[in-house]
Amino acid sequence: MKPLISIIILNWNGWKDTVECLESLFQITYSNYSVILIDNGSVDDSLEKIHNYCNGILRVESSFFKNNPNNKPIKIFEFSRRESEINDWKKNDFENIPSDRKLILIKNEKNYGFAEGNNIGIRFSLSNLKPDYIMLLNNDTVVDNFFLQYLTEKMANNESIGFSCPKIYYYDFNGKTNVINFAGGKIDMNRGVSSHIGLDTLDNGQFDSDKMVDWAEGSCILVKRNMIDMIGLLDRKYFAYWEELDWCLQGKKQGWQTWYVPKAKIWHKIARSTQTKSGRLIFFMTRNRIFFMRKNANNKEFFIFFTLFGIQFFKTLCILLTKKDKDLLKCFLKAVKDGFTN
């Protein structure tokens, strides 16, 4: 039998993306998986729309696939967050239902962020489903039919691999669907900077080789269960951003590898960099970058980072003062303070 995989998806006020993601996922060739959808305290009509989708009332339209009415209705196994943590779920007929005709829905009472939101799903899966692998998948993605097969085969053939990730394209890059966003990740521990290999390049096969990388993007990452037992869950302190880098690094410290598998492909609805950065984004990206370095850098790396960050700090301060944006300035200063003191 193929390894069992739990696929965890977070939804927060994003039902349109979520149902498109689910519809693409329920059409994959891999047959032994369970989908755990975590609603992270949505305040829109996400839950109603997701129920309508599963009942076949809401039809999904996408340029990437045709809607499949044949697997509807999809049976929903629904839990509150508290119910999901009791660990005495009697699965009844769950295991006898095909993978593409069932969905576990956990309803959080508030937004727990990316890290803890996914942890809630991981804990439920480990306690009740006993999977061989766990996948984190963003709700604003569309997947290739064979993506899970390729990722699983790579990890099954190498016991040292703890994480694997696909080639990630932009969902829409000025009308193109073959522009790469992520072909593996690099980390510069002297500067505290992460980067996407292949970013914004047209795919001409130049990133078609399997490769060991520093980190896997959290929008789609397959994780070996044995490694989770060793290194633990995502660090909830991050809330959002940098948590997957930290996870990959914790795995590396214990001898686990992260691999990029280009035969596996997904498309991600990524906001372009031309958009104005919000205070929330600046806060988490700045604070978590500092926290990541405090947690993971050695003394030499942190000294170099601290020196370079000091220069960057004053440059950023001057820019924000020139813009006279008090809210962004407050977010930035609070992020720096929290990053170095908490």
The answer to whether the CB of 86 falls within 8 A of the CB of 18 is no
Task: Give Cα separations from 171 to 66, 125, 266, 303 (angstroms).
Answer: 16, 29, 9, 39
Q: Please check whether residue 101 lies inside any domain of the structure.
A: yes
Residue 45 and residue 129 in one domain: yes
Token couple for 226: 């044995």
Our count of domains for the chain comes to: 2
Residue 154 and residue 53 in one domain: yes
101 pLDDT above the threshold of 50 = yes
Mean pLDDT confidence for 206-219: 98
Mean pLDDT confidence for 172-180: 96
Residue 260 and residue 309 in one domain: no
At 277, is the pLDDT very low, low, confident or very high (cuts 50, 70, 90)?
Answer: low
125 pLDDT above the threshold of 80 = yes
Q: Please check whether residue 250 lies inside any domain of the structure.
A: yes
Residue 168 and residue 52 in one domain: yes
272 pLDDT above the threshold of 60 = no
59 pLDDT above the threshold of 70 = yes
238 pLDDT above the threshold of 70 = yes
Last residue of a domain, one of 221, 246, 268: 268
Residue 180 and residue 314 in one domain: no
Domain that holds residue 304: 279-341
Token couple for 44: 């829109």
Spell out the residues 6+ positions from residue 13 whose beta carbon is closer than 8 angstroms to its own. Answer: 42, 43, 44, 46
Which pLDDT value is given to residue 198? 98
Residue 147 and residue 290 in one domain: no
Mean pLDDT confidence for 13-40: 97
Task: Give the tens place of pLDDT for each residue, 292-327.
Answer: 999 999 999 999 999 999 999 999 999 989 888 888
List the end-to-end C-alpha distance of the chain, in Å, as a whole number.
46
Q: Please check whether residue 59 lies inside any domain of the structure.
A: yes
Q: Please check whether residue 273 lies inside any domain of the structure.
A: no
Q: Please check whether residue 274 lies inside any domain of the structure.
A: no
280 pLDDT above the threshold of 90 = no
> Token match 């984190």: residue?
136
* φ, ψ (nearest 5 deg) of residue 253: -60, -25
Task: For the chain, give the percent of residues with pLDDT over 70.
Answer: 98
Which pLDDT value is given to residue 275? 41
At 151, is the pLDDT very low, low, confident or very high (cuts 50, 70, 90)?
Answer: very high
Residue 199 and residue 295 in one domain: no
Residue 32 and residue 138 in one domain: yes
Residue 194 and residue 124 in one domain: yes
Residue 63 and residue 155 in one domain: yes
118 pLDDT above the threshold of 60 = yes
Residue 318 and residue 169 in one domain: no
Mean pLDDT confidence for 13-32: 97
> Token match 């073959």: residue?
178
Which pLDDT value is given to residue 274? 33
Last residue of a domain, one of 214, 242, 268: 268
Task: Give Cα separations from 336 to 106, 135, 191, 280, 282 (angstroms).
Answer: 34, 32, 16, 13, 10
Which pLDDT value is given to residue 325? 82
Q: Please check whether residue 62 lies inside any domain of the structure.
A: yes
Which pLDDT value is given to residue 273? 36
Q: Give me the CATH number covering residue 132.
A: 3.90.550.10
Which pLDDT value is given to residue 271? 63
Q: Please check whether residue 89 lies inside any domain of the structure.
A: yes
At 22, is the pLDDT very low, low, confident or very high (cuts 50, 70, 90)?
Answer: very high
Residue 287 and residue 177 in one domain: no
Mean pLDDT of the residues in the chain? 95
Task: Give the tens place of pLDDT for each residue, 131-147.
Answer: 999 999 999 999 999 99
Q: Please check whether residue 132 lies inside any domain of the structure.
A: yes
Q: Which has more pLDDT, 166 or 270?
A: 166
Last residue of a domain, one of 268, 298, 316: 268
Which pLDDT value is given to residue 162? 98
72 pLDDT above the threshold of 90 = yes
> Token match 């969902």: residue?
171
Mean pLDDT confidence for 218-224: 97
The answer to whether the CB of 200 falls within 8 A of the CB of 179 is yes
Please name the amino acid found at residue 122.
I
